[in-house]
Structures are given as structure tokens and as C-alpha cells.
Amino acid sequence: MNKKPLKSKRRNRRHREPFLKRAGRSLARFMKAAVVLAAGSALAYGGWRGYKELTTTERLAIETIEIAGAFRVSEDDIHDLAGIEEGDNILSFRESVVAGKIRRNPWIKEVDVSRGLPSTVTIEVTEREPLALVKLDAMYVMDASGVVFKKYSPGDGLDLPVITGLTADGLRETSGELEEGLLDLMRTLKGREGFNLSKVSEIHADRVFGLSVYTLDEGVRLDVGLQGFSPKLESFEKILKTRGGSLNGIEAMDLNNYREVVVRFSANVVKEGGEAHGKKG
């Protein structure tokens, strides 16, 4: 079998660009990239220099720091937490960082920090509203949102009802029926006239029997369950009115069926024959 001789491959140089032309085009691309890079670097450097100039110039020095919304927390404490001073450059800090520092105080719920160019910084705070004291391993303060936000100290100067029967684990379960009922009860008491939160000494929470309210003056227990508090408290006030505003001799009232309230009198009253034990109102 005859084999055909292999033809040697030769490069076709007729259509290949001259070396100088190819080198010139590569150099042009390189120079273009270098110019873009140099321009970007110059812009970045200029921006950095401009930013440094703005954040250090005395023309933008802070002259006034205004603090609004502070009542329990002193303005001096807020100023110290903020970490900014008169004379500092007004662009030398981040609002979110300053706000985060101020929120370290447990009484502070929200913070808004704003600049009024060229020389005024405004710090507006919203403080927590204390609603009750919660007895756990120690006494803690609960706000109107149900957040237990600090340990109670006598210096807080709070005269609030005490919540008993809760646990730290239970408080973490914000969707629990008992915890939701407790918040609803406190909101109901706080927002009404007549018998309200200021006339309550204690609220006891029990996962089986629900909520019980103890009156401030006589210490009478009012069993109110976990819901429907308004009509129950209205029934209590009607009974109170028929007694001339006095709860003397009463130990407890079961208000769960507000249409037929069960009143339990103290042992002394029953002994003396003044009232029948378990009388219905």
C-alpha cells in the first residue's frame, strides 16, 4: 500500500499583521488602562483628601448639642453616652453609632440623632414607660410593652403594682396566654377611671387559675381570669358602690362570671354573722 507523503505545514504569513502594528495596538490598550487607573486613583485620593478636609475643618465645629425627651435620664448622662463634644467636627461621627451608645442606658427605648449644619446636633430620646414591678429572683421593672428591662433599685423612685407568679422562662414566651392576658389586664386598668392601676397593690399570675388583682387599700383579691376584663371590673365597681365604696370584711371576689359575682367574706365577719360566706352579688 502506497502512502502519500506528508506535506509540511507552513505558516501563512501573508495575512499576519506586522509586529510593530500589533505592538503599537497593545501599547495603546495598556496606556488607556493606565490612564483610567491613574484617573481613578486621583479621584479616590481627591475624594479622601476632600473628606478629610470636611471632617476636620473648624468651620464645621459643633457649637450646640440639643437633647430632647429626657426625663428619668439626665441630659448629662445622655451627653456622656453620646461621646461627642462641642468643638468636634459635625461630620466626624456616625449617627447610628452615637444612637447605639445612648441606648446602653436601659431607660432609653429609642434614639434619633440628627445634624443641623453647620454646627448643631440634636439628640431626641424616647424613654420607657414603667408599668409594674416583676418579682423574679429579685425585683425588676416592666414597661408598657411587657419588656422587663432593668433590675429595680430604690433610687428609681417607683410606686407601682407588683406582679408575682411569673418566671423568667415564661416572660420569654411573649405569645403565652398568661403573659398576653397580663398585658391586656394592665392596659385595661391603666386606661380606665375609677378602679385603675394606681389602686392595685399586686397582680398574681397563675397558669391554672388565671390572674388575680389585689386592691391597694384593703388587700381584697379579685379573680379576673385571662380575658374580658372591662365588664368584670365594672361589676366590681357596682358592688363597691352599693357598699358605699368600702370593701371592709370582704376577703375575695370571683369576677369570672361578672353577671353573678361570688363574694367571699373574711372569717371574722362570718363568725359575727354579719354576712354569709360565699354570698353572690
What pLDDT shows up at residue 253? Answer: 96
Task: Look up the pTM and report it.
Answer: 0.73
Spatial separation of the C-alpha atoms in residues 15 and 83, rounded to whole Å? 73
- The boundaries of every CATH 3.40.50.11690 domain in the chain are 130-280
What are the Cα distances from residue 149, in Å, to 102, 139, 265? 15, 11, 39
Spatial separation of the C-alpha atoms in residues 118 and 64, rounded to whole Å? 10
For the chain (281 residues), the mean pLDDT of every run of 10, in chain order, is 52 57 60 59 56 70 96 96 94 94 97 94 97 96 93 94 90 75 94 95 95 96 96 95 92 93 81 49 52
- The boundaries of every CATH 3.10.20.310 domain in the chain are 59-127
What pLDDT shows up at residue 276? Answer: 45
Residue carrying the nine cell digits 430620646: 125
What pLDDT shows up at residue 277? Answer: 44
Pick the CATH number of 130-280 from 3.40.50.11690, 3.40.228.10, 3.40.950.10, 2.30.60.10: 3.40.50.11690
What pLDDT shows up at residue 258? Answer: 86
Helices and strands per DSSP (H, E), number in the chain: 7, 13
- Give the DSSP letter string of 63-106: -EEEEES-SSS-HHHHHHHHT--TTSBTTSS-HHHHHHHHTTST
CATH placement of domain 59-127: 3.10.20.310
